Structure 1
Amino acid sequence: MRSRVWWGTAVALCGLLAAGCGSGDGKSADTSTGSRAPVTVTDCMGAETTFDRVPGRIVTSNASSLELLLRLGAGDKVVGTGFPPGKGTLPAALDAQAQRVAVLGRTVIPKEKLLGSGADLYIDTFASMGNMGGGGMGDAPTAEEFKAAGIKHVFLKSTACAAQNKGPLTDLSAVEEDITALGAVTGTSAKAKELVTGMREKVDGVRKAVGGTAEQARPTYFFFDFDAGTKQPMAVCNRQIAHAVITLAGARNAFADCDGDFKQVSWEDVVSRNPGWIQLGVRNRGSEAANEKAFDEAREWLEGNPATSGLKAVKEGRFLRIASERTTIAGVENAAVVQEIARTIHPGKVK
């Protein structure tokens, strides 16, 4: 199975903590000199990190946190990334900026390279939050090593905390809080507010249209992670952001009873749940033609595999062509996917 680049967005419940999370009118902090009131953010375990200045040199662990910084208008502060986005995989307005960011690691950034990057902030999406001393992937630096290098280390809560959520994710509030916090840290609170407002408008429209649909009237939905491998499927569980996206769209995740973020299951498990809709979750190939080819391959595999050809969704051709990243990476695009799914499975109800 290919290496999983999951993912996440930002860092804290800014509104619950001290001053500096942005003024009530949504204006950003003064970033001309980097000075402003302190901003404090937390990790999954409640440990605090305080910023007295806007970070000037940021390293991101992967493309998800890089994309968020670009959307917030803080891309000029990013000096390096791991797991870089492929050319053409980000929206056109962001792609050129992303391609100019130095690649410190094609996968996990090597420890020595990260510590020697000159960064003053490292945004980590790969946390194993039970071990707060380091990151959750690779030979990560310790807290002491980060401190000695002058690097503040924050975790992206939308993803890093997923496995420790006390219950299923059913909305995008964690993503919105993360965007708000990341905006506060980087002095882009006004843009963060704009992004969150746009997400809420999309989701609220869907809620009004399909939120009252009875549970049994909601179709079952299977996210087919084609790129994770077909020998043994990878199911989206109830603490992954995709579960919230599916639920908000008025569907029932076929593996809603699975506690956690992802879990390998069997095709027998999928068949027993006989989903009414299947999302062909392929990862962005960098061009529309390449993406369509990948969607075709995923569909053909389901139609040609004896174990899945009899599924209700397959027999009736009920497929959705939505890229994996937009669904399983916590971010701005989640709200748009809620709309797309709802329009497809509840035709006529969602505008």
Structure 2
Amino acid sequence: MRARVWGGTAAVVLGGLLAAGCGGGGKDAADESTGKAGKSAAGAYPVSVTDCMGAKTTFSDAPKRIVTSNASSLELLLRLGAGDKVIGTGFPPGKGTLPGALDAQGQKVKVLSQNVIPKEKLLGSGADLYIDTFASMGGMGGGGMGDAPTVEEFKAAGINHIYLKSTACAAQGKKPVRDLSAVEADITSLGAVTGTSAKAKELVAGMKEKVGAVQKAVGGTAAGKRPTYFFFDYDAGTKQSTVVCNRQVANAVITLAGARNAFADCDGDNKQVGWEDVIAKNPDWIQLGVRNRGSEAANKKAFDEAQKWLETNPATKGLKAVKERHFLRIASEPTTIAGVENAETVEKIAKTLYPGKVG
């Protein structure tokens, strides 16, 4: 989207959601964004954010009517304390899938679509901000999946359109994602835009503390001594394997936990491969990546099904990790979708792979 000029006042330009490393995410960029975002807590509007291509959107004040493309951006707003500004969402969170008190809050948000919000419904929603989590920043004039509105249509409807860059820009990154700085920068920038910078700073500090403790314990482990790790996306189908590549946030989660993503040599976010490719990697550990079903019993059933498939399928039952029952039962969302829980997943993986080393 193009920049808006607000009375000639110099804007606070943020990097995360906005900037930091479309893909790689440098620490310096995230730290710089954090410092500038703090100003908005004191009312230092206007605030400007950029998309993956560098186009700028400027806010003169906090948005009042927000629509989110899916549950991940909704969850971030709820964590920031800006949930009361959300008037609708696509891809809504299933009941019981958000942690703690966030679940009840999330269930109250109006569902505009069970998947991609139809163009007409989005433009007529009354929103003044639309947050896109997954988006192709290319040929559709700034749209995500489906028949998305153009830049001009968003402008005519009075809707600012911004992206979670740690996700939306992932496939376009120029280098592998090995840290969570882009996720942290997104949180910082969302805090600046919504006037919740203090909470954003708190969330980012908590993530840094968790990851920092893991890095202190296992970060120095030589590459050759790090176990290989395969994220088994059971819900994506088993005819072929959908693997996480080195531009996906899961690559950062796995790397920070002291493991080697079995498909870190794949440039991009996700890719479908044949099972012969997984066999060739013969990973030391396998994460049973199933999506949160909303209850402990339903999740256990899904994990059991995924494990049984690996143990009984002729193509996978001979894998080292399968024979040694080296399975991790961690849901897909906190591993593959940018959010606060990425740091918690780093901790969970490290505790399993390095027992006794991570507190």
TM-score range normalised by the length of the shorter chain: over 0.9
Which residue of structure 1 aligns with residue 199 of structure 2? 191
Q: 1:21 aligns with which of 18, 37, 41?
A: 37
Looking at structure 1, the residues matched to 170 and 130 of structure 2 have their Cα atoms a distance apart, in angstroms, of: 20
Gaps of 5+ in 1: 1-8, 31-35
Contact 2:17–2:51 (Cα < 8 Å) also in 1: no
Which residue of structure 1 aligns with residue 228 of structure 2? 220
Which residue of structure 2 aligns with residue 313 of structure 1? 321
Q: TM-score, normalised by structure 1?
A: 0.92
Which residue of structure 2 aligns with residue 286 of structure 1? 294
Contact 1:10–1:65 (Cα < 8 Å) also in 2: no
Looking at structure 2, the residues matched to 68 and 84 of structure 1 have their Cα atoms a distance apart, in angstroms, of: 13
Render the CA deviation track for 1:23-52: whole Å, top value 9, x for unaligned: 3xxx8245xxxxx52101011111110000
Q: Give the partner amino acid of 2:122.
A: L
Q: Give the partner amino acid of 1:110.
A: P
In 2 relative to 1, CA 20–309 (structure 1 residues): closer, same or farther, beyond 3 Å? closer
Contact 2:17–2:49 (Cα < 8 Å) also in 1: no
Looking at structure 1, the residues matched to 19 and 254 of structure 2 have their Cα atoms a distance apart, in angstroms, of: 24
Q: TM-score, normalised by structure 2?
A: 0.90
1:156, distance to aligned residue in structure 2 (A): 1.2
Which residue of structure 1 aligns with residue 265 of structure 2? 257
1:304, distance to aligned residue in structure 2 (A): 0.4
5 Å matches for 1:1-351? Answer: 10-13=17-20, 21-23=37-39, 28-30=41-43, 36-131=44-139, 133-351=141-359
> Percent of pairs identical after alignment?
77
Contact 1:233–1:267 (Cα < 8 Å) also in 2: yes
1:324, distance to aligned residue in structure 2 (A): 0.1
1:348, distance to aligned residue in structure 2 (A): 1.3
Q: Give the partner amino acid of 2:150.
A: T
Looking at structure 2, the residues matched to 138 and 150 of structure 1 have their Cα atoms a distance apart, in angstroms, of: 21
Render the CA deviation track for 1:242-297: whole Å, top value 9, x for unaligned: 00000000000000000000000010000000000000000000000000110000
Looking at structure 1, the residues matched to 210 and 131 of structure 2 have their Cα atoms a distance apart, in angstroms, of: 28
1:20, distance to aligned residue in structure 2 (A): 6.6
Gaps of 5+ in 2: 1-15, 21-29
User: SS at the partner of 1:234?
Assistant: strand
Looking at structure 2, the residues matched to 187 and 290 of structure 1 have their Cα atoms a distance apart, in angstroms, of: 38
Looking at structure 1, the residues matched to 107 and 160 of structure 2 have their Cα atoms a distance apart, in angstroms, of: 25
1:125, distance to aligned residue in structure 2 (A): 1.5
1:11, distance to aligned residue in structure 2 (A): 3.2
Looking at structure 2, the residues matched to 108 and 11 of structure 1 have their Cα atoms a distance apart, in angstroms, of: 22
Looking at structure 1, the residues matched to 67 and 173 of structure 2 have their Cα atoms a distance apart, in angstroms, of: 27
Q: Give the partner amino acid of 1:21.
A: A
Q: Give the partner amino acid of 2:18.
A: V
Q: Matched residue pairs, number?
A: 335
Looking at structure 2, the residues matched to 15 and 317 of structure 1 have their Cα atoms a distance apart, in angstroms, of: 40
Contact 1:29–1:188 (Cα < 8 Å) also in 2: no
Moved over 4 A (4+): 13-17
1:130, distance to aligned residue in structure 2 (A): 2.2
Looking at structure 1, the residues matched to 228 and 37 of structure 2 have their Cα atoms a distance apart, in angstroms, of: 40
Looking at structure 2, the residues matched to 130 and 325 of structure 1 have their Cα atoms a distance apart, in angstroms, of: 25
Contact 1:38–1:52 (Cα < 8 Å) also in 2: yes
Render the CA deviation track for 1:49-76: whole Å, top value 9, x for unaligned: 0000100000000000000000000000
1:132, distance to aligned residue in structure 2 (A): 6.7
Looking at structure 1, the residues matched to 116 and 128 of structure 2 have their Cα atoms a distance apart, in angstroms, of: 18
In 2 relative to 1, CA 313–327 (structure 1 residues): closer, same or farther, beyond 3 Å? same
1:15, distance to aligned residue in structure 2 (A): 6.9
Which residue of structure 1 aligns with residue 24 of structure 2? none
User: SS at the partner of 1:22?
Assistant: helix
Contact 1:20–1:39 (Cα < 8 Å) also in 2: no
Q: Give the partner amino acid of 1:22.
A: G
Looking at structure 1, the residues matched to 275 and 304 of structure 2 have their Cα atoms a distance apart, in angstroms, of: 20
In 2 relative to 1, CA 117–141 (structure 1 residues): closer, same or farther, beyond 3 Å? same
Render the CA deviation track for 1:224-246: whole Å, top value 9, x for unaligned: 00000011010000000000000
